[in-house]
Chains A and B, each alone.
Chain A
Amino acid sequence: MKKVLLVDDSLIVARQLQKILDESGEFSVCAHAKNGLEAIKLNQEHNPDIICMDMNMPVMDGLTALRTIVSLDTEVKVVMATSLSGVGDKFMEAMKLGARNVMSKPFEAETVLNILRQL
């Protein structure tokens, strides 16, 4: 089962994603970070296969954390999650920085799982 690190400052979004992943039986959540800085630390501690990370967070935003994470860890696959994915510039910035995909909010369980299965 693939290990997933969730990164989102919103309690309800993290819980929503956790539920989708738990119910799939294909992914398990190994940790939850509330900002980009915590994500960098928890990635080193838990060595997840996948990181699902929000873009807009306090302390350190998702794109800044993405840049650091992919420079330190070439194995982990990062998927960004945002309500701004339909803004082409934001989507492309994430992809150019090394995100494997971008999930749109509001989430649809099947779309989330399909994106993670493709990794």
Chain B
Amino acid sequence: MAVKFFGQFLVEKGLVSREQLLAALDLQKATNLKFGEMALKMGLLTEDQIIRVHNAQHSDDQRFGDIAVRIGLLTEAQVQEVLGRQQDTYIYLGAALVAVAALDEESLAAHLEAFKLDQEPYVVETVEIPAGVSHPQVWEAAADLTYKMLTRLANLPYRKEQCTIVTQVEPNDIIARMELSGTLQATYLFSASSGVRAAIARTMLREEVDNSPEELLDDAVMEFVNVVCGNLAAKVAQFGQKIQLAPPEAIHPGNEPLPVPVGRIGLQFPIHVVNGEEVALVLFVEP
């Protein structure tokens, strides 16, 4: 179980074939024109004018239509006309699969319902993020996915505490971290005591890990971070953010705290687990 998109769910369950999905996506690509493509098709812009807008976008992160108005290529009314046409002709993946005869209307409705149920555990629950932090929705999803994976991958009951701003990360037996880049920059850190590390490895392997090598146990915590951040990337793609992940790293900080880098805010989400074990999620984020 993981954060998925509808096409992946269908192929994974064997409900549509790889070839059918690719055909439906090709149909979507041909039908769902970008703003410039649609304006070209409607005869409102020429190819040269589209290039002018794209060039202007290199130094200005406004939307295509807004720039086209600013540099006098389109009127506001024409922008609305293009947006309206895009909306009217948009074809969703489900409809595209019906159009390429991969599904019929009845089975599409049933599969959409099953998909909704499959993804229900990954609906983001409210986590309060301190005011003044950018992209709070992303960090809320990061915290919520960490809590969910703690149950799923470590089988540990936990109690979460409110997020606080910190200047350093307290030492622990292991801190696994992953750099996030793309439309936002951040560092995800998962700090765990040795009992939590063993719980993750035990749950993943479904066997006792008392005599397992350190490398395998550290790998378990790094894989935990990999899974949380991968699912985070999928979740935030649903609200327009693109995140790339660097490979996870394991740090054994000894007794030294880890300072929050200059120019970043440290968000700490303390997590209480049984038997005195210690866990925390810390995010180094941009202000």
> Complex Cα distance A86/B152, Å?
17
Smallest CB gap from A86: residue in B: B234
> Complex Cα distance A96/B23, Å?
11
Task: Tell me if B33 counts as interface (CB < 8 A to partner A).
Answer: no
Q: Which B1-42 residues have C-beta < 8 A from chain A? A: 1-5, 7-8, 11-14, 18, 21-22, 25
Task: Tell me if B282 counts as interface (CB < 8 A to partner A).
Answer: no
Q: Using a CB–CB distance below 8 Å, which chain B residues touch chain A?
A: 1-5, 7-8, 11-14, 18, 21-22, 25, 149, 152-153, 201, 204-207, 215-216, 219-220, 222-223, 226-227, 229-231, 233-235, 237, 245, 247
Task: Check A95–B245 contact: CB distance below 8 A.
Answer: no
Task: Check A102–B152 contact: CB distance below 8 A.
Answer: no
- Interface size class on chain A is 35 or more
Task: Check A84–B245 contact: CB distance below 8 A.
Answer: yes
User: A89 contacts which chain B residues (CB < 8 A)?
Assistant: 237
Q: Which A88-102 residues have C-beta < 8 A from chain B? A: 88-89, 91-92, 95-96, 99-102
Smallest CB gap from B203: residue in A: A106
Task: Check A105–B233 contact: CB distance below 8 A.
Answer: no
A-B pair count, CB < 8 Å, reads 107
Q: Using a CB–CB distance below 8 Å, which chain A residues touch chain B?
A: 9-13, 15-16, 19, 56, 58, 82-89, 91-92, 95-96, 99-106, 108, 111, 114-115, 118
Query: What's the minimum C-beta distance from B202 to chain A, rounded to whole angstroms?
Result: 11
User: B219 contacts which chain A residues (CB < 8 A)?
Assistant: 10-13
Query: What's the minimum C-beta distance from A13 to chain B, rounded to whole angstroms?
Result: 6
Query: What's the minimum C-beta distance from A21 to chain B, rounded to whole angstroms?
Result: 14
> Complex Cα distance A11/B2, Å?
21
- Among the listed A11, A82, A88, which residue makes an inter-chain contact with B237, where contact means beta carbons less than 8 Å apart? A88
Task: Check A105–B226 contact: CB distance below 8 A.
Answer: yes
User: B231 contacts which chain A residues (CB < 8 A)?
Assistant: 83, 86
User: B222 contacts which chain A residues (CB < 8 A)?
Assistant: 10
Task: Check B22–A95 contact: CB distance below 8 A.
Answer: yes
User: B153 contacts which chain A residues (CB < 8 A)?
Assistant: 106
Task: Check A87–B233 contact: CB distance below 8 A.
Answer: yes
Query: What's the minimum C-beta distance from B58 to chain A, rounded to whole angstroms?
Result: 22
Sorted nearest first, the 7 A-B pairs with minimum C-beta distance are A83-B230, A86-B234, A104-B2, A86-B3, A12-B219, A84-B230, A83-B227
Smallest CB gap from B220: residue in A: A12
- Among the listed B14, B152, B215, B245, which residue makes an inter-chain contact with A118, where contact means beta carbons less than 8 Å apart? B14
Task: Check B204–A102 contact: CB distance below 8 A.
Answer: no
Task: Check B7–A106 contact: CB distance below 8 A.
Answer: no
User: B201 contacts which chain A residues (CB < 8 A)?
Assistant: 12
Residue from B1, B2, B4, B21 having most chain A Cβ neighbours under 10 A = B2
